[in-house]
Each structure stands twice: as structure tokens, then as C-alpha cells.
Amino acid sequence: MRDADEKIRRLVDLPQASIFNPSTPRPFAAQPHVYPMKKIVGGVAALLLAGAIHPAFGVSINFDAQGLTGPSTFGNPAQTVAITADDLGNPLGGSVTFTGGVILEQTTFLPADRTALYGTANYSDLTNPLTITFALGGPIHNFFLDVLNGLTVPADFLLADDAGHSATFSLPANMSSGMTTIGFAAAGNVVTVTQLGVTGGPTSNWDYFVDNIHFNESLPSTPEPAATGLLLAGALAIHGIPGRRIRRTRS
């Protein structure tokens, strides 16, 4: 009984403000809405600042616009073409590098495009795939370009990035159309362009060119990836509806 009386006496002797005044300071655990909010605001500010420092710039690369020239036939060794951030108008610095091919201009036996192109064929040390490396302070998003099949027969092409994304497209023979725009929802920092053989792997007899490379832009209307097109064609055939392929070309 004495202990209970003592507890009651201590409670009654406390200042009224400490019991009923809501402005009385309380331990941090009793007001979690104060300090965590500061952390949240700071985190949001950091994200906004990061977005301001690393915006995604839509970029287009045309080899004529870069002042690049070359011979009209394959014969030179592989040429590494590095385009700097100044050339791209990117204030973040960095570069885009093309490897495995060579610049050709007014290309012989190539009626579809007479401008400067970056091409490769099974000649000398040229390679299949062509590799495009982006060193721009962060991964790209979306990628499309114009590809011209240099063979006199149709061929499939594989676009792939180093983040696990890929898409395959069927292109006509070089006498059948102009440059065909193909693209996919790329990410990462490396994109490869590969001409495929009948087995689905890189062909040992390749011949193709690329130009007008775009990234960090919305994807345009491009041919359906080959796998998707086959599935759709099969589904349409079941229902007796003929398939139709849409292709954007440049002459």
C-alpha cells in the first residue's frame, strides 16, 4: 500500500504541462513523422539532382554529318570510329565507338545508298558482328538504326545489348530495297549487329552496312522481329487471315 501511495503522489506532483500539453517534447520514438520525413525529402532531392545531372539525350549519328569518308570497295583493314560527346552535343562527355567495320562511300554494287556507311564483310580483319560501345556516363535506352543487307539474298539480323535484350529481323536482298530501319528496347552500354546464317548463328559469308544510328529516343515503326512475325503469321493462318509485314525503308 505504501508503494502505491508513493507512485500516486509522484504522478500528482508532476507539472501539468508534462502530462497534458501536446507541445511538450517527447522521445523520438513517439514522433516518427519528423526525422524520417527529412530523410525522405533529402532522398527525393538527391534523385532530382541525379536526374538533372544525367538526363537522357536523344542522339542521332550520321556518318556523312561526321565528315567521314572512305573508299568505294572493301580492302582497308578494320577501322575503329570513335565519335566524341562534342560531336554528339552531349554535355555529359563520353563517346560512341564503332568497331569491326570500315567506312565506305559511293559503295560499288550498292545501289540503295551512296553516302558514307560503316560496313563489314568476310574480308581481311573485318568482323561479324559490328560492335557499338557507349561510354556516356550511364546506360542507353532504346536503339534503332538503318541496316542494308549487302548480300544478293535475304538475310536475318540480330540486334543485342549487354543487358540481355535482343531482337531478330529479316531483311531483303540489297537489290530489293533501300536501308531498312530496325530497332529494339535496348539498355546497357554495348549493342551488337550480327548477320545470321541459316543455322541461326553468325554467318561465315556476311556483307552489310549501318547508318543513321539513334538511341535515347522513342522507337519508330520498324519491321516486326522475326520470331514475333512467325508466331503472328501462324496465328493469322489458323484463322485464314493473310499476314502483312510493315517495313520502313530509305532509298
What's the pLDDT tens digit per position in 124-146?
899 999 999 999 889 999 999 99
Do the domain assignments include residue 201?
Answer: yes
As for how many domains the chain has, the answer is 2
- Is the domain of 40 the same as that of 130? no
Q: How far apart are the first and last CA of the chain?
A: 102
Confidence of residue 6 (pLDDT cuts 50, 70, 90): low
Distances (CA, A) of 128 to 27, 123, 194, 199, 219: 67, 10, 6, 15, 25
- Is the domain of 86 the same as that of 171? yes
What pLDDT sits at residue 234? 37
Cell numbers given for 46: 538527391
Do the domain assignments include residue 250?
Answer: no
Asked whether residue 1 carries a pLDDT value surpassing 60, the answer given is no
What pLDDT sits at residue 59? 85
How do 155-161 and 166-171 pair as beta strands? antiparallel
- Is the domain of 220 the same as that of 198? yes
The whole domain housing 63 covers: 59-238
The CATH number of residue 197's host domain is 2.60.120
- Is the domain of 141 the same as that of 194? yes
Do the domain assignments include residue 78?
Answer: yes
Do the domain assignments include residue 194?
Answer: yes
- Is the domain of 105 the same as that of 26? no
Confidence of residue 115 (pLDDT cuts 50, 70, 90): confident
Do the domain assignments include residue 247?
Answer: no
Do the domain assignments include residue 246?
Answer: no
Span 82-104, average pLDDT: 86
Q: Is pTM beyond 0.75 here? A: no
Span 110-118, average pLDDT: 78
Backbone angles phi, psi at 180, to 5 degrees: -110, 130
Q: Which residue has the higher pLDDT, 73 or 223?
A: 73
Do the domain assignments include residue 14?
Answer: yes
Confidence of residue 174 (pLDDT cuts 50, 70, 90): confident
Asked whether residue 113 carries a pLDDT value surpassing 80, the answer given is no
- Is the domain of 120 the same as that of 37? no
- Is the domain of 9 the same as that of 77? no
- Is the domain of 90 the same as that of 137? yes
Q: What whole-number percentage of the chain has pLDDT above 70?
A: 63
What pLDDT sits at residue 109? 73
Q: Which residue has the higher pLDDT, 67 or 167?
A: 167
What's the distance, CA 71 to chain centroid? 31
What pLDDT sits at residue 16? 44
What pLDDT sits at residue 248? 33
Closest CA to 87 of 118, 60, 55: 60
- Is the domain of 184 the same as that of 104? yes
Q: Where are the alpha helices (DSSP H) in 14-34?
A: 16-20
What pLDDT sits at residue 182? 97
Asked whether residue 103 carries a pLDDT value surpassing 50, the answer given is yes
Domain boundary among 53, 71, 91: 53
What pLDDT sits at residue 40? 28
Domain boundary among 19, 34, 53: 53
- pLDDT tens string 22-75: 444 444 333 433 333 333 234 333 333 334 334 456 888 999 888 898 998 998
- Is the domain of 155 the same as that of 232? yes
Confidence of residue 117 (pLDDT cuts 50, 70, 90): very high
- Is the domain of 102 the same as that of 24? no
Average pLDDT of the chain to the nearest whole number: 74
Domain boundary among 27, 53, 79: 53
- Is the domain of 23 the same as that of 136? no
Confidence of residue 2 (pLDDT cuts 50, 70, 90): low
Span 193-200, average pLDDT: 88
Residue 178 to residue 197: CA distance in whole angstroms: 21
| Cβ–Cβ < 8 Å for 165, 142 | no
Q: Which residue has the higher pLDDT, 178 or 112?
A: 178
What's the distance, CA 55 to chain centroid? 14
Do the domain assignments include residue 200?
Answer: yes
DSSP E strands: which ranges in 62-173?
81-84, 95-99, 102-104, 117-121, 130-135, 143-149, 155-161, 166-171
